[in-house]
Amino acid sequence: ENGIEKPKGYTVSFHYNAEVEYHHFGSSHPMKPWRLTLAKQLILAYGLEYAMDLYQPRPATFDELAIFHDRQYLGFLQSITPQNLDSDPEKAKYLELFGFGGESNDCPVFDGLWNYVSLYSGASVHAAHNLLNHQSDIAINWSGGLHHAKKNAASGFCYVNDIVLAIQHLLTQNQRVLYVDVDVHHGDGVEQAFESTDRVFTLSYHKYGLDKWGAGFFPGTGNINEVGPTDPSNRGKGHTLNIPLEDGIDDEQYKWLFKTVTGAVISKYQPTAIVLQCGADSLGGDRLGRFNLNIKAHGFCVEHVKSFNIPLLLIGGGGYTPRNVARTWCHETAVCTGSELHNNLPMHLPYLQAFDGTENGGGMLYPNLHNTKRHDNQNTREKLQKLVAHAMENLRYLEG
């Protein structure tokens, strides 16, 4: 009756284990796994579950994670708890080494950490398997997308790199996999993991540059000049593209840029599978982000990639204003299934108050996030044109 049905001619699958929602990074930490509860409630309230195949994946095993990560690092991750953290001097020694140190507390040790990382990774690996078996054409895991994790270190709220694990699975049957990252942060962990292969092309759009105090935007890498290894004998040469942006980029600019650059990469690289990281911290009004995108402009990236009809894995990532993260991922789920959603949120939505009131988006699915604008647009037409020209220059390497 709500008009939500399975798309004709292709299959969308949704991979989600609700246990991830119950993990807490700590009250002052911006990463809130319960944003996934909000997203799921919106998706269900609109009836999108009728348009997809739903799966509840099991957690990934130690051995599955060890396909990318060092066993010693995983052993540490599996055994560390908030309780044994300070008491065991042996563990204290490894904290720094494995990326848990520093006063920023980006990667806290919290209760159930191992369960959390194996749940979100299990979902990405399961989603990749579904694409390989041809059980789905588009597979979604909103709990994944943790692009900063390294093989032996945690970084930027990421402990295990589910994206790398999923791509490794896709590589068993795909000659070329394209990774596209619209999170406001540079996808450094994925880029680094595949820097020496020509079978994965990594493309990241992100905020890059110094603030007025001279501090670089996290993680501080991803300049347009960073194109991977420069040694001509390295097979990975030319298979990385970074699009560094300034504060305040708007809908029209971002859509034009995304379409132009991603389109060029797809037509030159000819991937047989695509992984799209949909970090929602590139939205206007995000607690950590600096861009000014509305939900439909963010969703345009999904629409555009989907239009190529190449097997697609969609994963989450950052996103620190939970109600807008939920709106975006609900909208993008609907983009995948080809469903139109009404701007008025369904009345029977649990947690309706999280989306209600002028502050929270007035009970709408698509509030104008420009109203929450806090960052002037520093991206001029000229700068973006130069950037695209530079990107196209970098892509000439693919022509051999």
Residue 122 or residue 189: which is nearer to ligand V1S going by CB?
A: 189
Indicate left, alpha or beta for 52 from its phi (over 0: left) and psi (-120 to 50: alpha): beta
DSSP 169-210: HHTTT-S-EEEEE-SSS--HHHHHHTTT-SSEEEEEEEE-SB
Q: Which does 30 bind (CB under 5 to 8 A by kind): ligand V1S, Ca ion, Zn ion, none?
A: ligand V1S
Distances (CA, A) of 122 to 115, 258, 284: 10, 29, 31
Q: Is 30 a binder of ligand V1S (CB under 6 A)?
A: yes
Q: Is 204 a binder of Ca ion (CB under 5 A)?
A: yes
> Quick one: which of 311, 76, 282 has its CA closest to 174?
311
The sign of the torsion formed by the CA atoms of 362, 52, 4, 282 equals positive
CA–CA separation, 156 vs 146, rounded Å? 9
Q: Which does 286 bind (CB under 5 to 8 A by kind): ligand V1S, Zn ion, Ca ion, none?
A: none
Residues 234-263 close enough to bind ligand V1S by CB under 6 A: none
276 in Cβ contact with 315 (< 8 Å): yes
Residue 28 or residue 233: which is nearer to ligand V1S going by CB?
A: 28
User: With 0-12 CB in 10 A as exposed, 13-18 as middle and 19+ as buried, what is 209?
Assistant: middle
Q: Of the residues 147, 148, 185, 186, which is catalytic?
A: 186
How far apart are CB 106 and Zn ion at their closest, in Å?
A: 11
Tokens for 363, please give them.
């009970």
Q: Is 15 a catalytic residue?
A: no
Q: Which does 28 bind (CB under 5 to 8 A by kind): Ca ion, Zn ion, ligand V1S, none?
A: ligand V1S
Given the rule CB under 6 A, which of 64-72, 132-140, 143-151, 354-362 is the region that contacts ligand V1S?
143-151
The one-letter amino acid code at 309 reads N
Paired with 344 in beta bridges are 364
Residues 200-229 close enough to bind ligand V1S by CB under 6 A: 218
Return residues touching Zn ion (CB under 5 A). Answer: 183, 185, 279, 281, 318
Angle between helices 251-269 and 381-395 (to 10 degrees): 10
Give the residue, chosen from 1, 90, 103, 340, that forms a contact with ligand V1S under the rule CB under 6 A.
Answer: 103
Residue 107 or residue 139: which is nearer to ligand V1S going by CB?
A: 107
* Site of interaction with Ca ion (CB under 5 A): 181, 183, 204, 206
Residues labelled as active-site residues: 186
* Site of interaction with ligand V1S (CB under 6 A): 28-30, 102-106, 146-148, 156-158, 183, 185, 218, 279, 281, 288, 317-318
